Structure 1
Amino acid sequence: MEHFSAGDDLIRKLTSNYFDMVLKKILFASLFFAGIVTLFAGCQDSISGFEEEPPQLPPTESMDMSFSTFDTEEAQLTSSSDFEAENEHFSHFSNAAIRAFVMKTVVDLNLAIPKVLLTAATQADPEFSEDNEWVWSYSSSHQNQNMEVRLAASEQSDGQVVWDFYVTNSALGLDNYLLFTGITSPENRIGTWTYYRLLGENDGEPVSELSWNITDENQANLQLEVLSNRNGNLGDTINFEKDGHIKSAIYFNAEEDSTVEIEWNSDTNEGYLIAPDYNNGEKACWDSNFENTECG
């Protein structure tokens, strides 16, 4: 049986400057938008005289690819390199957890900021503008720095809704900057999000696109495609599905032309991994205790 080793390319990436850069970008995003939720929550004065009901905000689940099973304290201990070295019978889950971390990093780079802003918008009330748009718009000022966030929604002739999210920040030189845009079906179950580059060279270029289909709170399908090479992920895709407690993620690495599939049960912790460079490319399963087991 072929096992994952520290010499593999995946480990090299995890310990490279690439992931140092990734973590710094995520930290910057979290610091920059740390006050957004408070900003929205503090501006909820009721608005009367609406000409009609505003469109329902897209569900936050439209940006939610959850790998929480791999984030628990027990899971992190089991997937540590020291633990795996002494307990080879946990190798299937350990290998899957490393790959889940890679997927989660790609997801966070592309969806962390939009998800924060969309979540914050659910706490606010919109108003109808002269441009026939529903607008969620707020601003704050701190130490001579001005910030404004504005979400505009317009309805199309076919009943679809277009969503544009703009950011203004004097300290960063952003003036009504289009951060992400989306379109949703009339029933608000199907849609797409396009996320744009915030700062640096080629700012304003599309970074990624997310297509989503949510049947109900227990069933969802999300597919993320990376459109920019800013972090070396151009062409990568992640297809995430949720069917009750059963979740799966299929990651296509465009540079390596390889596909990894992970499926797990968020209730029982059981799951499997299929990767071309592990276990001879054959299905590798683990049980509810994260131990290697025969696949059914």
Structure 2
Amino acid sequence: MKNWKISGVILTLIMIFASSCEKSGEPNEQATSPELPPFESMAIDFGAFDENGTSGKAATLVYDNKAPNGNWVFSRIVVGVWSSALYTTLAVPVASFQAAITQTPEKISDDTWQWTYSVDGFTSEYTARLTGQLTANKVVWNMYITKMGIEGFDEFLWFSGESALDGNSGEWTLKQSPERPDAMLRIDWERSGDEIGSIRYTWIRVLDDQENADPFRNSYLEYGLQEGNLDAYFSANVYDTNLQEFTEVDIEWSRDTYEGRVRAVAYFEDLLWHCWDSNGDDIACE
């Protein structure tokens, strides 16, 4: 009888141990933080069209299709509208998101993680708090930013977004500023392998700074990758204040050599491509 009791105790311990091992071995989909979307999902590399960017080109701001680098300069002006919005008007939230990638999050609830840190690179002191919430079919992101000191502001939800659970697609919505907390820019993105395969910036602001209807609303710039020597493109549909209408612009270029071409009927008054070489100088298209 005594041996039976001992055997029973041992059997019970074995069952408890086996049960605990089984539970600890069960996969937990929310055991780790959701993967941050890549920084390029918000701000792609505009270097090929920067005046002092990676291409090493230099050009005037005034477009002249008779200038030796007029085709590239015109393309740079079109792209520069969007680059300026991201790195000037929206510089703080963009830099805040970039900094999040180097931070370690903490879990603050069963399905939500939080990244909290200071943002470097500005004369004022900014603190960012990014949250990522796992849901059944997506991750919901919210970026809150606080500014200390002169003209400081309390925590402000500067942008929000969603990304697919596999991390291959998503969208962002960025507001203009704490002083004008209106949605300004929507970004839709998709990843192709290890890089962004396509991204579209859409201007969604309803009113401009003078409280008038924003004529630029619904303008967009789409970036993507394609096959061939000119392996990247921009497709733009933007409101031109001089023409007072929406115009289409197509741009293709090589990410290796920076040579490219542009087509814009409203500006060149033809349906032809207009090309530039790796130095940014106009050349005849082949």
TM-score (norm 2): 0.71
The amino acid across from 1:211 in the alignment is D
The amino acid across from 1:123 in the alignment is T
- Partner SS, residue 187 of structure 1: coil
Structure 2 residue 246 is the aligned partner of structure 1 residue 257: yes
Show CA shifts across 1:231-254 (max 9, x none). 653222111113587222122113
Of residues 184, 193, 201, the one that matches 1:224 is 201
Return closer, same or farther for 1:251/1:167 CA change in 2, 3 Å cut-off.
same
Match of 1:174 in 2: 153
Of residues 173, 182, 185, the one that matches 1:205 is 182
Show CA shifts across 1:81-108 (max 9, x none). 79979x8443322332333333422443
CA distance in 2, matches of 1:173, 1:91: 43
CA distance in 2, matches of 1:290, 1:176: 44
Match of 2:268 in 1: 279
Show CA shifts across 1:99-145 (max 9, x none). 333342244356533321111111111111136410112469xxxx9
Show CA shifts across 1:267-286 (max 9, x none). 11210111123332321112
Match of 2:225 in 1: 242
Greater shift, 131-140 or 261-270, is seen at: 131-140
Gap regions ≥5 residues in structure 2:
1-29
- Partner SS, residue 290 of structure 1: coil
- Partner SS, residue 96 of structure 1: helix
CA distance in 2, matches of 1:146, 1:292: 45
Greater shift, 175-184 or 277-286, is seen at: 277-286
Match of 2:70 in 1: 91
- Partner SS, residue 72 of structure 2: helix
Give the helix-richer structure, 1 or 2.
1
Instruction: Report runs of 4+ in structure 1 exceeding 6 Å deviation.
Output: 81-85
- Partner SS, residue 164 of structure 1: strand
- Partner SS, residue 258 of structure 1: strand
Conservation of the 8 A alpha-carbon contact between 1:126 and 1:135: yes
Displacement of 1:170? 4.7
Match of 2:60 in 1: 80
Conservation of the 8 A alpha-carbon contact between 2:43 and 2:86: no
TM-score (norm 1): 0.69
- Partner SS, residue 277 of structure 1: helix
- Partner SS, residue 141 of structure 2: strand
Match of 1:27 in 2: none
1:48-63 correspondence to structure 2 within 5 Å = 52-63=31-42
Conservation of the 8 A alpha-carbon contact between 1:65 and 1:107: no
Greater shift, 64-73 or 263-272, is seen at: 64-73
Displacement of 1:218? 4.3
Name which structure has the greater RCO, CA cutoff 8 Å, separation 6+. 1
- Partner SS, residue 97 of structure 1: helix
The amino acid across from 2:277 in the alignment is D
The amino acid across from 1:80 in the alignment is T
CA distance in 1, matches of 2:126, 2:282: 51
- Partner SS, residue 69 of structure 2: helix
Displacement of 1:187? 0.7
CA distance in 1, matches of 2:282, 2:224: 24
The amino acid across from 1:187 in the alignment is D
Seq. identity, %: 24
CA RMSD of aligned residues (A): 3.0
Report how many residues are paired: 237
Show CA shifts across 1:159-181 (max 9, x none). x1001111223544533321111
Return closer, same or farther for 1:107/1:241 CA change in 2, 3 Å cut-off.
farther
CA distance in 2, matches of 1:96, 1:149: 34
